[in-house]
């Protein structure tokens, strides 16, 4: 049996404004309108002899990840939380250590949560080809058969054949310039580096101990002091923060003598930019990809995504236009790699559009910041059936709640009472309070905040069923 480990870290800043720091691309519906990138990664494993996947993600994304797994019927899935980002080598080490504690030297299939693979049968064939190699102690990487000269990917050079479907890894090559990339593709001896791997947990840990023992030591210590919290395994923050930051390629794969590559021709893309998403998406007769409420006139080769309103384009070509509730991006397809520079400018200017959308997901539901101004803020709040916000208070703001649909169970100081549709209640500054949905349909309400400070950090929690501090 194969034990999939799915890495769901990363911020996906090149896909701003859809991808945000607290809601990055792996949790978005991009190439598939029905599934998020993470969910599609899990679904394409169907038909293989696998255990339930383990997930590694940033602590900030834990409830978003858990909800998307719940939607797939995976309520009890293993979710390993990284308190800080330390790249792929430590993340995989944590998963390997955790798995090897519970079973006899499992075979790990390490995948990224934000890749697109169109040919699932070819993907499965590649996994079947890698399995006997991993059983024999090889560290297998999957190389993507290149379709063109690409400067945005690293490359892997083939060495001698190991089997009919695999080769010794001769070397890893950094992202090349265009002439070098053309030479690589023309030679037929190079594949793109996919960042997907298969190996026994023990073999990875042995090679990591050989080449980067400090990483393994830090991960062991972090896991020894881990705590279980609901679905989540929380490793020790201080121990993991001391771990060196390194990728699996640099730490192990470029150094080991047991690296083997299985070429994979499966319609793969890491969707690393808007132009890459345009390339893999279905297009109309004019080469446009139109998502949402979009009207195009004399428009060609353009990607348009409308999130919340009508977007009309007239007489444009080879553009990317992305509209969300709080930001609009207009870029030429040849310049989309520079979107990350816009995100950096937003950070430097102390703005918040890189962090999250207007709609923010919480373990109990979602809120949409409808309007804000001097000393006031208005939110539309949706609380899922059976969910409850933390027992809390605020030092600087009062709140008015107006129920739009459903029934709210309100704790307001020493009182607990129900508020139904078209009714309202008032929470004074400094009052301990809580909000719960005791019904079987979603609770929707309008919250009007007023006060001298309205930041999300003005919350003192006394009790929280979701384990938030």
For the segment 319-354, what is each residue's pLDDT rounded down to a tens digit? 999 999 999 999 999 999 999 999 999 999 999 899
Is the separation of the CB atoms in 387 and 457 below 8 Å? no
In terms of pLDDT, which residue wins out, 456 or 442? 442
Distance CA 389, CA 403 (A): 15
pLDDT at 424 over 70: yes
**Structure tokens belonging to residue 55:** 């997930």
Residue 441: other Cβ atoms inside 10 A: 11
Distance CA 261, CA 192 (A): 11
The DSSP 8-state label assigned to residue 221 in this structure reads H
pLDDT at 120 over 80: yes
Percent of the chain whose predicted confidence (pLDDT) is above 70: 99
Q: What residue has token string 């459903």? A: 406
Mean pLDDT, residues 69-91 taken together: 92
Is the separation of the CB atoms in 413 and 446 below 8 Å? no
In terms of pLDDT, which residue wins out, 93 or 75? 93
pLDDT score recorded for residue 183: 95
Mean pLDDT, residues 347-366 taken together: 90
Is residue 66 within a helix (H) or strand (E), and if so which, with residue range? Answer: helix 62-71
Is the separation of the CB atoms in 7 and 91 below 8 Å? yes
Domain ranges of the chain: 2-269, 274-345, 359-463
pLDDT at 287 over 70: yes
Buried b vs exposed e over 151-176: b needs ≥16 C-beta within 10 Å? eebbbbbbeeebeebbbbbeebbeeb
Distance CA 25, CA 40 (A): 12
Distance CA 25, CA 23 (A): 7
pLDDT score recorded for residue 466: 81
Q: Which of 442, 441, 435 is nearest to 465 (CA)?
A: 435
pLDDT at 372 over 70: yes
Buried b vs exposed e over 381-399: b needs ≥16 C-beta within 10 Å? bbbbeebbbbbbbbeebeb
2-269 adopts what CATH topology?
Spore Coat Polysaccharide Biosynthesis Protein SpsA; Chain A (3.90.550)
Is the separation of the CB atoms in 139 and 259 below 8 Å? yes
Mean pLDDT, residues 247-275 taken together: 95
pLDDT score recorded for residue 357: 87
Burial class of residue 206, CB neighbours in 10 A (0-12, 13-18, 19+): middle
pLDDT at 33 over 80: no
Is residue 125 within a helix (H) or strand (E), and if so which, with residue range? Answer: helix 120-135
pLDDT at 449 over 80: yes
**Where does the pLDDT of residue 38 fall: very low under 50, low under 70, confident under 90, or very high at 90 and above?**
very high
pLDDT score recorded for residue 32: 65
pLDDT at 360 over 90: no
Is the model's pTM score more than 0.85?
yes
Is the separation of the CB atoms in 307 and 292 below 8 Å? yes
Q: Which residues contact 331 (CB under 8 A, 6 or more apart)?
A: 274, 319, 320, 338, 339
Q: Which of 350, 349, 328 is nearest to 339 (CA)?
A: 328
pLDDT at 469 over 70: no
CATH of domain 359-463: 2.60.120.10
pLDDT score recorded for residue 428: 97
Quick one: CA torsion of 413, 418, 420, 426, rounded to 10 degrees?
-10
Q: Which of 80, 2, 88 is nearest to 45 (CA)?
A: 2
């Amino acid at each position: 049996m194969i034990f999939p480990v799915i890495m769901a870290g990363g911020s996906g800043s090149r896909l701003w404004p859809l991808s945000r720091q607290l809601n990055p691309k792996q949790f978005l519906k991009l190439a598939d309108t029905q599934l998020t990138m993470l969910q599609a990664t899990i679904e394409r494993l169907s038909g293989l002899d696998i255990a339930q996947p383990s997930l590694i993600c940033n602590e900030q994304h834990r409830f978003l990840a858990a909800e998307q797994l719940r939607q797939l019927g995976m309520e009890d899935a293993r979710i390993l939380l990284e308190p800080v980002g330390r790249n792929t080598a430590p993340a995989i080490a944590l998963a390997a250590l955790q798995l090897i504690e519970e079973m006899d030297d499992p075979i790990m299939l390490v995948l990224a949560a934000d890749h697109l693979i169109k040919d699932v049968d070819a993907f499965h064939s590649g996994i079947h080809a890698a399995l006997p190699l991993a059983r024999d102690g090889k560290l297998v990487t999957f190389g993507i058969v290149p379709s063109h000269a690409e400067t945005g990917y690293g490359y892997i050079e083939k060495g001698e054949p190991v089997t009919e479907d695999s080769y010794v890894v001769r070397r890893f090559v950094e992202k090349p310039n265009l002439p070098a990339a053309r030479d690589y593709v023309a030679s037929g001896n190079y594949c793109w580096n996919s960042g997907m791997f298969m190996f026994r947990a023990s073999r990875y840990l042995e090679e990591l101990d050989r080449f980067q023992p400090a990483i393994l030591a830090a991960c062991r210590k972090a896991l020894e002091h881990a705590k279980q919290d609901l679905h989540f395994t929380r490793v020790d923050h201080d121990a993991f923060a001391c771990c060196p930051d390194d990728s699996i390629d640099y730490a192990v794969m470029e150094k080991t003598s047991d690296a083997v590559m299985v070429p994979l021709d499966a319609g793969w893309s890491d969707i690393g930019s808007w132009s890459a998403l345009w390339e893999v998406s279905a297009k109309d007769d004019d080469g446009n990809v139109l998502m949402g409420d979009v009207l195009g006139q004399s428009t060609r080769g353009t990607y348009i995504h409308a999130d919340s309103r009508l977007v009309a384009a007239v007489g444009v070509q080879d553009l990317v236009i992305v509209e969300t509730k709080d930001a609009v991006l207009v870029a030429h397809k040849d310049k989309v790699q520079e979107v990350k520079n816009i995100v950096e400018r937003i950070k430097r200017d102390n703005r918040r559009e890189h962090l999250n959308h207007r709609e923010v997901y919480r373990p109990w539901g979602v809120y949409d910041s409808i309007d804000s101004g001097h000393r006031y803020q208005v939110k539309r709040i949706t609380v899922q059936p059976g969910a409850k916000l933390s027992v809390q208070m605020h030092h600087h703001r009062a709140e008015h709640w107006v129920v739009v649909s459903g029934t709210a169970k309100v704790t307001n100081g020493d009182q607990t009472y129900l508020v139904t549709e078209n009714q309202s209640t008032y929470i004074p500054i400094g009052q301990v309070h809580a909000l719960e949905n005791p019904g079987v349909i979603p609770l929707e309400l309008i919250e009007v905040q007023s006060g001298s400070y309205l930041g999300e950090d003005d919350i003192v929690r006394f009790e929280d069923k979701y384990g938030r501090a």
